[in-house]
Structure 1
Amino acid sequence: MIAIFSDTHSTSGHELTGDALNAAREADAVVHAGDFTSEAALEAFQSECDHLFPVHGNADDPSVKDRLPTARVVEADGIRIALTHRREGGQTGLAMFGRSRDADVVVSGHTHRPTVIETDDVLLLNPGSHADPRGNRPGFAVLEPRGTDDADDSATQIEGEIRTPEGTPLASIDYSNE
């Protein structure tokens, strides 16, 4: 399982509770699309997650920005994820960012709005913010590869959910780029 977070905006810690905390602790990989805000929040995530792959966001302290890249590609559970906090050009810019990195999924943050958009060749996912939703539902996401009996091994099939920190599903993900 891959757990996906963004926009923690904390000066003191990871702000993870309930199902979100369990997912961070149990995931094979955790990606965070930036805006920890403080080193304390980043380090709290690092202490909970065995395999954390973060990028920095626009609201991160300079000490966090110095430690993290602006963008990265992560391969976990057979899923290739292009990760950034935000990308100019909206949906089109995010899709182009993913295509240029041969990604199955583009994870971004910044809007604090849990969002899933399926395109023909890349899934766009914003998990929202588990700690600072700013008028949206608080959220985080989980993804897993979906087994297939199809003879086309080149297709990536992914299932998952955007959930509230307590575990209530906000959106289902059932995606294939075949």
Structure 2
Amino acid sequence: MIAIFSDTHSNDGHELTGEALEAARSANTVIHAGDFTSTAALEAFHRECDRLLAVHGNADSATVRERLPTARVVEADGARFAVTHRREGGATGLAMFGRSRDADVVVSGHTHRPTVVETDDVVLLNPGSHAQPRGNRPGFAVLERDGDELVGELCQPDGAVLETISVRMTR
């Protein structure tokens, strides 16, 4: 399983609760799209996850920025993820970012709004913020391979499903 998070915005820890915490602990890969804010939050995620692959966001401390890239490509369960905190140009900019990295899924954050957008050749996934939704629903995502697809859900930390996700892999 792949668990996807963003926008923790914590000075103390990972802020994970309920099903979000369980997903982080049981996932083979955890992707985080930035804005841990503090080294304490980043380290807390590392303690909960076997494999954490993250980028930094605009609100991250200098120490977090030194440890994490602005963007990265993650290979997991046969899929290719292009990960960034934010990208100029909205959905078009994110889709171009994904295409330029031959990605199946673009993971981004910044808006704190959990969303899934399917384009012709890449799925744009923003898990929202599990900790500080800022007027949106709190969220995180889980994906699992099912044949030549990734299937999963955009969920609230209590496990309530916000939206289902299906990604047809091109490899």
TM-score, length of structure 1 as denominator length:
0.93
Q: How does 1:59-78 map to 2 (within 5 A)?
A: 59-78=59-78
Is 1:175 aligned to residue 167 of structure 2?
yes
Q: How does 1:113-124 map to 2 (within 5 A)?
A: 113-124=113-124
- Tell me which amino acid in the other structure corresponds to 2:167: Y
Alpha carbon RMSD of aligned pairs, Å?
Answer: 0.9
- Tell me which amino acid in the other structure corresponds to 2:60: D
Gaps of 5+ in 2: none
Q: Sequence identity, in percent? A: 74
- Tell me which amino acid in the other structure corresponds to 1:167: G
Q: How does 1:30-49 map to 2 (within 5 A)?
A: 30-49=30-49
CA contact 1:122–1:177 (8 Å) conserved in 2? no
Is 1:93 aligned to residue 93 of structure 2?
yes
SS at match of 1:66: helix
Whole-angstrom distance in 1 between the partners of 2:73 and 2:137: 27
Q: 1:27 maps to which residue?
A: 27
**What are the superposed Cα offsets for residues 88-125 of structure 1, whole Å, 9 maximum, x if unpaired?**
01000000000000000000000000000001110000
Is 1:166 aligned to residue 158 of structure 2?
yes
Q: 2:126 maps to which residue?
A: 126
Q: 1:143 maps to which residue?
A: 143
Instruction: Give the drift of 1:34.
Output: 0.1
CA contact 1:120–1:177 (8 Å) conserved in 2? no
Whole-angstrom distance in 2 between the partners of 1:54 and 1:96: 20
Instruction: Give the drift of 1:177.
Output: 5.5
Instruction: Give the drift of 1:175.
Output: 2.8
- Tell me which amino acid in the other structure corresponds to 1:79: A
TM-score, length of structure 2 as denominator length:
0.97
Whole-angstrom distance in 1 between the partners of 2:151 and 2:168: 9
Whole-angstrom distance in 2 between the partners of 1:127 and 1:171: 11
Instruction: Give the drift of 1:144.
Output: 1.4
CA contact 1:105–1:125 (8 Å) conserved in 2? yes
Structure with the greater alpha carbon radius of gyration: 1
CA contact 2:57–2:85 (8 Å) conserved in 1? yes
**What are the superposed Cα offsets for residues 112-143 of structure 1, whole Å, 9 maximum, x if unpaired?**
00000001110000000000000000000001
**What are the superposed Cα offsets for residues 6-41 of structure 1, whole Å, 9 maximum, x if unpaired?**
000000000000100000000010000000000000
